[in-house]
Amino acid sequence: MSAAPELVIGVLLPDLLGTYSDAGNAVVLAQRARWRGIDAGILCVTADTSPPAGCDLYLLGGGEDAAQLFAIEWLARHRTLRRALSERASTFAVCAGLQILGTTLTDVQGRCHGGLGLLDLTTAPRRRRAVGEVITRCVLPGVGLLTGFENHRGATTLGIGVRPLGQVLSGVGNGVPPASRRPAGRTWPVGPSSGGGIEGAVTDRVVATYLHGPVLARNPALADYLLSRVTGQGFPDPDPPEVPDLPGLRRGYLSPTPPRRARFRSHLKPW
Amino acid sequence: MAAVRGWARPPPMRPARLVSSPQFRRGWWTWVAMRAGLAAGWLSRRLGLGAGVIIRGRVTLALCPSALSRLAAGRRVVLVSGTNGKTTTSHLLAAALRTAGPVAHNATGANMGDGAVAALAADPDAPVAVLEVDELHLAAVATAVDPAVVVLLNLSRDQLDRGSEVRAVAAALAGALSAHPDTVTVANADDPMVVWAATQSPRASTVWVSTGGRWNGDATSCPRCGTTLHGNGDRWRCRCGLARPAPHWVASEAAAVRDRHVIPVGLRLPGQFNLGNAVTAMAAAELMGVDPRRAAAAMSLLPDVAGRYAVVTYRERELRLLLAKNPAGWAEMLGVLDEARPLLVVVNAREADGRDTSWLWDVPFEEIAGRPVVAAGEHCADVGVRLTYAGVEHATVADPLAALALLPTGVVDVVANYTAFHQLRRRLTAAGGESTR
């Protein structure tokens, strides 16, 4: 067997949390690391294996409701992995991944399930599914605008232990309505990070978002931020020449017209 | 509008002479609505707005909301549904059933209620109808037409923004089948989602077909209990008891095997998945009273399916037109592509395609490295980024006809998703591309 790679990216439960193609994030991270001369490997950890606790970065993707509950149970069962997630490794979680790392998760039938508790946030169902393009301004240094596609029914309220990943410029995001649109006389969860046009959640170990795309394929600066956090190296060049189509892709998604149209059309659909 | 709806009811009394005509048996207002639809379709074609199929159905349905059940009354209807292969299978089945008599068929792939109405109105006297139906519309269409046979091909993720998660689609199909206990289902035994949907109804009678599909990325967790499924393809089971049923028909090596009888199937359409589609069509044809050998002979003559698999000559290039719109479709298509042949990939993300292009990352594009590749379409940049990360050298040009100029002359494989495919076909026809087959 050859020497172990310098950077190991563990994709957790791609068989259950692979509905929205978020495993592409691992491909992006590994390739960008290799372009910088870092030997990176991807480890797919399916539900029928016992998970390794030694990965540098763990990825969780989006999945269907039944799979999500199974994933919580699976992660809670594997204690060494859980300890690695909370004490040592970095985690990048998308959509269902964000929800299962929270403290509680209420399903569509109104049943409340406990999450993994790695992130101080709770998720309850929205009345209508949030589907469409999203643009946010990321709070992480040097990352800038984020583009992605959201497709979820969660309204996520952040506690004081986490910061939002970004400010929503278009789209829904965490799904608690912004202050200006809240009906008068009703109390909403209060506090600096309790929704109001925000998206995702960040702690010093975890970056979580609702954005698909895959989000790291559309936002190389976020991929490089994660890589530099895991490897401790800085990457000054956010857009290396290796991906010639990226500027065109970002121009297309960050120009204001197409996402708005997509959002409007999604409201017209009866299902 | 309310007044028009009121007129839609048929008159209670009809002259005896007219009852003999099937058109009048359906009610004079249905006939008027049908004629109005045909006129609207003609106008739409003359004005160059499109093929006029959907407008035809919509006008008829607007005038007579019950048109679908009225037009289907008295006919034996087969509904073909699933994520991939609906159009191909319904074409194969229609070809097989035409050996026994006229068949109404929504051949253009307009697969919602309006397309079904247009197809039935176009052939008002055909005693048999084959209707391809979008999986999200199966319940509504089945309620209206009371089908004799429902064909369920496969269920995988497609247009997640529009539809819903695969399991929810399977649950809706299960509900539709339970509501029609006398309908016989022809279902794919290799697809756990399909098996789960088809076995929900206790009174269901099902003919199982093993199609031998390549994709199982959407069924690694059990649709019934959510845990991991063990095995795939022709051997899978879950500890909750959901397991692959023993198939009545098996697609294998250019033949259909039915109860140890081997029936050769020589198709002009490429790929194992089309053999699976053909064997499924043979099972349905047998239920409709057509001998499987006769069905196989009729299906072997089909050169292309609504332009898919057609070969078109355009500017010294022979284009093999292929359609793939999701990871499962691509997984099948990769087996059909020639390794040495230049490839044009065309991707749009309009409403009918699904707005989210994430699915491109579940296609193993790494496999196409080593041949000349151009990414085109309205979302060519998404394809281009995906190809770069897959290590595939390529060029990126939004306009697919301009993109062709970058590829060598000779035979070129073209794989496009739904709206990109239809757009490209229209443009090739307009630009004088010649169909060579």
**Pick among A12, A245, A253 to test the B interface (most B CBs inside 10 A):** A245
Counting Cα atoms < 13 Å in the Cβ hemisphere of B64 gives 27
* d(CA B355, nearest CA chain A) in Å: 8
Q: Between chain A and chain B, how many beta carbons pairs sit less than 8 Å apart?
A: 119
Say which of A21, A149, A269 has its CB closest to residue B362.
A21
Locate the chain B residue with the closest alpha carbon to A31.
B389
- Cα–Cα distance list, A10 to A32, A218, A252, B360 (Å): 16, 21, 31, 21
Q: What is the ipTM of this complex?
A: 0.88
**Pick among B362, B374, B399 to test the A interface (most A CBs inside 10 A):** B362
Domain limits, chain A: 7-268
* Bridge partners for A212 per DSSP: A149
Instruction: Kindly list the strands in the beta sheet with B255-258, ordered across the sheet, starting from the edge strand earlier in the chain.
Output: B103-105, B128-132, B76-81, B149-152, B184-188, B205-210, B249-252, B255-258, B261-264
pLDDT of residue B215: 59
* d(CA A14, nearest CA chain B) in Å: 9
Q: What are the pLDDT digits (tens) for A17-76?
A: 888 899 999 999 999 999 988 999 999 998 888 899 999 999 999 988 888 888 999 999
Counting Cα atoms < 13 Å in the Cβ hemisphere of B425 gives 22
All residues at 6 or more sequence positions from A74 whose CB lies less than 8 Å from its CB, including other chains: A13, A16, A47
Place of tokens 């002479």: B17
Q: What is the DSSP letter of B154?
A: -
Q: Sort B146 into a burial class: Cβ within 10 Å, 0-12 / 13-18 / 19+.
A: middle
pLDDT of residue B22: 52
Chain A residue numbers touching B375 (CB-CB < 8 A)? 245
What superfamily would CATH give domain A7-268?
Answer: Class I glutamine amidotransferase (GATase) domain (3.40.50.880)
User: Residue A99's CB: how many other CB atoms inside 10 A?
Assistant: 28
- Nearest CA to B165 among A156, A93, A20, A46? A20
Instruction: Give the whole-angstrom CA distance, residue B407 versus residue B317.
Output: 9
Say which of B221, B351, B355 has its CB closest to residue A16.
B221
- Residue pair B238/A56 in contact by the 8 Å Cβ criterion: no
Say which of B136, B217, B226 has its CB closest to residue A18.
B217
Domains of chain B: 1-65 (no CATH), 74-299 (3.40.1190.10), 311-435 (3.90.190.20)
| Contact: B386, A217; criterion CB under 8 Å | yes
Query: Cα torsion for A23, A27, A28, A34, to the nearest 10°?
Result: 150
Question: What does the pLDDT profile of chain B (437 residues) look like in tens digits?
Answer: 333 333 333 334 333 333 334 554 578 888 888 888 888 888 887 777 667 778 888 888 888 888 899 999 999 999 999 999 999 999 999 999 999 999 999 988 888 888 898 899 889 899 999 999 998 899 999 999 999 999 999 988 876 766 567 888 899 999 999 999 899 999 999 998 999 999 988 777 999 999 986 656 655 778 888 777 777 666 788 888 888 999 999 998 889 999 889 999 999 999 889 999 999 999 999 999 999 999 999 999 999 998 899 999 999 999 999 999 999 899 989 989 988 899 999 999 998 898 999 999 999 999 999 999 999 999 999 999 999 999 999 999 999 999 999 999 999 999 999 999 999 999 999 988 777 66
- Token duo for residue B421: 């495919």
Locate the chain A residue with the closest alpha carbon to B326.
A21
Judged by DSSP in three states, B232 sits in strand
Q: Please indicate if any CB of chain B lies within 8 Å of the CB of A214.
A: yes
Q: Sort A256 into a burial class: Cβ within 10 Å, 0-12 / 13-18 / 19+.
A: exposed
| Contact: B359, A252; criterion CB under 8 Å | no
All residues at 6 or more sequence positions from B265 whose CB lies less than 8 Å from its CB, including other chains: B251, B254, B255, B256, B275, B278, B279, B282, B296, B299, B300
Q: Please indicate if any CB of chain A lies within 8 Å of the CB of B409.
A: no
Window 346-385 of B, Cβ < 8 Å to A:
351, 355-362, 375, 379-385
| Contact: B381, A252; criterion CB under 8 Å | yes
- Residue pair B108/B81 in contact by the 8 Å Cβ criterion: no
Q: Please indicate if any CB of chain B lies within 8 Å of the CB of A266.
A: yes
* d(CA A71, nearest CA chain B) in Å: 9
pLDDT of residue A72: 94
Instruction: Give the whole-angstrom CA distance, residue B38 versus residue B393.
Output: 49
| Contact: B385, A131; criterion CB under 8 Å | no
- Residue pair B64/B30 in contact by the 8 Å Cβ criterion: yes
Q: What is the mean pLDDT of residues A127-156?
A: 93
pLDDT of residue A177: 53
Judged by DSSP in three states, B331 sits in helix
**Pick among B221, B224, B353, B357 to test the A interface (most A CBs inside 10 A):** B221
pLDDT of residue B296: 96
What is the residue type of B408? Answer: P
Q: What are the pLDDT digits (tens) for A249-271?
A: 999 999 865 444 444 443 333 32
- Residue pair B71/B25 in contact by the 8 Å Cβ criterion: no
| Mean of per-residue pLDDT scores for chain A | 85
- Residue pair B200/B180 in contact by the 8 Å Cβ criterion: no
| Contact: B385, A243; criterion CB under 8 Å | yes
> Which carries the bigger pLDDT value, residue B3 or residue A2?
A2
Share above pLDDT 90 across residues of chain A, in percent, rounded to a whole number: 67
Chain A residue numbers touching B161 (CB-CB < 8 A)? 131-132, 149, 151, 266
* d(CA A185, nearest CA chain B) in Å: 34
Q: What is the DSSP letter of A212?
A: B
Strand A206-209 with A201-202, pairing: antiparallel
| Contact: A243, B351; criterion CB under 8 Å | no
**Pick among A11, A34, A45, A64 to test the B interface (most B CBs inside 10 A):** A64
pLDDT of residue A237: 65
Say which of A15, A214, A244 has its CB closest to residue B358.
A214
Locate the chain A residue with the closest alpha carbon to B362.
A21
pLDDT of residue A178: 44
Place of tokens 């290396």: A240
Instruction: Give the whole-angstrom CA distance, residue A54 versus residue A62.
Output: 23
Instruction: Give the whole-angstrom CA distance, residue B207 versus residue B288.
Output: 13
Q: Please indicate if any CB of chain B lies within 8 Å of the CB of A154.
A: no
Q: Please indicate if any CB of chain A lies within 8 Å of the CB of B88.
A: no
pLDDT of residue A40: 95
Say which of A15, A66, A70 has its CB closest to residue B167.
A66
Chain B residue numbers touching A67 (CB-CB < 8 A)? 221, 226
- Residue pair A242/A35 in contact by the 8 Å Cβ criterion: yes
pLDDT of residue B188: 94
Instruction: Give the whole-angstrom CA distance, residue B47 versus residue A255.
Output: 34
Chain B residue numbers touching A69 (CB-CB < 8 A)? 226
Out of A173-177, A234-238, B287-291, B339-343, least confident range? A234-238
pLDDT of residue A257: 57
- Residue pair B154/B131 in contact by the 8 Å Cβ criterion: no
